Structure 1
Amino acid sequence: MQIKINRQNETVEYNLPFRSTTLLSVLYQIKSCKDNSLTFSSNCRSGVCGACAVRVNGKEVLACSHTVNDGDLVEPLRYHEVQRDLKVNKLKARETLKTSTAWLQQKQETSISSEQIKVTEKQSDCILCDSCYSACPVLEVNPNFIGPFALTRAFRYTADPRESDIKSTIDNIQINGIWDCTLCGECTEVCPQGIDPKMDIMMLRGTSAQFGYSDPNFQAMDFGFGGFG
């Protein structure tokens, strides 16, 4: 079996004896037996920590969960500083959590039903693997876009009954935020936890409308009537 790895903008091919195994096992095999300079990230090896996220054939996956196929092309995540080979610096992406102020602003005492817990139960499963961030096409044209996982986190807290100041978070995700999303669903497709950032962003748009916000791009559309009036 042969796989290719993008290393410092150079594609290196490796021939391996494996037929069916995880990508992470293959990476360790290469590092142990063929090239000990190969650099990548891993931790739990169980699909829990998200450290080993990479791109395979143009799609974001967890290396510890992806079954290797002959001819696979492995690359680092997009929109991250590549430190070496498949290892990237995730600090810039983490800053989006600060931009979105995705935490409780003003806590209030309240009772929470099991139904209310289920509303944000899935969003709380985010492992910050950055797969959705790497898959987002908006970041290619707008590097300041807050990004999917930070907006999912924002939804998680604006939908929390303990939050008494939803508007503060809603105010902070208007610019380079929910209206910049194209709703393409690429983030949802690659999430290893089954989270749906696209739907979360749509819910945030609905909450924003309740506070008087609307899509700023809508005002620039003339719908073919620009010459009338």
Structure 2
Amino acid sequence: MNITITRNNKEYKYKLDKEYSTILDALEYIKENIDNTLSYRSGCKSGICGSCAVIVNESEKLACKSKIDENDKVKPLKYCKVIKDLVVEINQIEKLLKENKTFIENYSNNLITNDEQKLINIQSNCILCQSCYSSCPVVEINKEFKGPYALTRSLRYINDKKESNFSNKLDEIQRNGIWDCTLCGNCTLVCPQFIDPKTDIMNLRIKSIQNGYSDPNIQNNNFFNEFDFDSGFNPNSF
């Protein structure tokens, strides 16, 4: 079985003398038996910590949960500074979460029902693996975009009744946030926790509109300015 790993922007092909069940198994074998300079990150090995996220055949996956196939190609995550080989910088996780104020700022004494708890638990299941961030086409053209996991975490605290003032959180996601998302759904497809960031962002847009915000990308022009009135068009005919 062969596997190709991108290291320092170059592809290295490794031949394995037997079959392995996961990408992480193969990486461990290469590290121990073929090339001890190979660097990758892993932790729990059970899909919980998210530290082993990589790109396999152009799709973001957890190495510990990704079944290996012949001629798989493994790369580091995109839009993250590569420290070495498959190990990427994770400092931006803390930066994005702080910028989005994804924590309770003002505690309230409101009681939370079981159904409400289940609602915020969905977003709480995010393991911050950065797979959704790596899959996002918006990040490629806008490095200031907050990204799917940060916006999903925003929804979690905006929906949390223990937060007495969620207006600050809504303020933070208006610029380089929910309105910049293309709703392509890549983030939802690659999430190992089956979270749906696309729907979360759509819900954040609805909540924003309900609280007086609007899409800044839409020009506030009169509808009829788009028409050529010299052509005989009569707006009164509607």
C-alpha distance in 2 between matches for 1:224 and 1:91 = 48
Q: Which moved more, 1:126-135 or 1:14-23?
A: 14-23
CA RMSD of aligned residues (A): 1.6
Moved over 2 A (4+): 17-20, 220-229
C-alpha distance in 2 between matches for 1:82 and 1:176 = 24
- CA displacement, residues 125-184 of structure 1 (integer Å, 9 cap, x when unaligned): 111111111111100000000001111000000001111101111011111011001111
TM-score of the two chains, using structure 2 as the length reference: 0.92
Between the two proteins, the alignment pairs up a number of residues equal to 229
TM-score of the two chains, using structure 1 as the length reference: 0.95
1:128 maps to what in 2? 128
Kept after mapping to 1: 8 A contact 2:20/2:26: no
1:158 maps to what in 2? 158
Q: Does 1:138 align with 2:157?
A: no
C-alpha distance in 1 between matches for 2:18 and 2:194 = 29
1:71 maps to what in 2? 71
| Matched letter for residue 201 of structure 1 | I
| Matched letter for residue 69 of structure 1 | D
CA 1:21–1:140: 2 relative to 1, 3 Å: same
| Matched letter for residue 161 of structure 1 | K
SS at match of 1:219: coil
Cα offset for 1:60? 0.4
Structure of larger gyration radius: 2
- CA displacement, residues 74-109 of structure 1 (integer Å, 9 cap, x when unaligned): 000001111111001111233111111111121100
2:89 maps to what in 1? 89
Kept after mapping to 2: 8 A contact 1:120/1:156: yes
Unmatched segments (≥5 aa) in structure 2: 230-238
1:106 maps to what in 2? 106
Kept after mapping to 2: 8 A contact 1:80/1:93: no
- CA displacement, residues 40-69 of structure 1 (integer Å, 9 cap, x when unaligned): 001111111111000001100000010111
C-alpha distance in 1 between matches for 2:11 and 2:221 = 44
Kept after mapping to 1: 8 A contact 2:158/2:166: yes
Q: Percent identity?
A: 47
Unmatched segments (≥5 aa) in structure 1: none
C-alpha distance in 2 between matches for 1:168 and 1:12 = 47
C-alpha distance in 1 between matches for 2:78 and 2:123 = 23
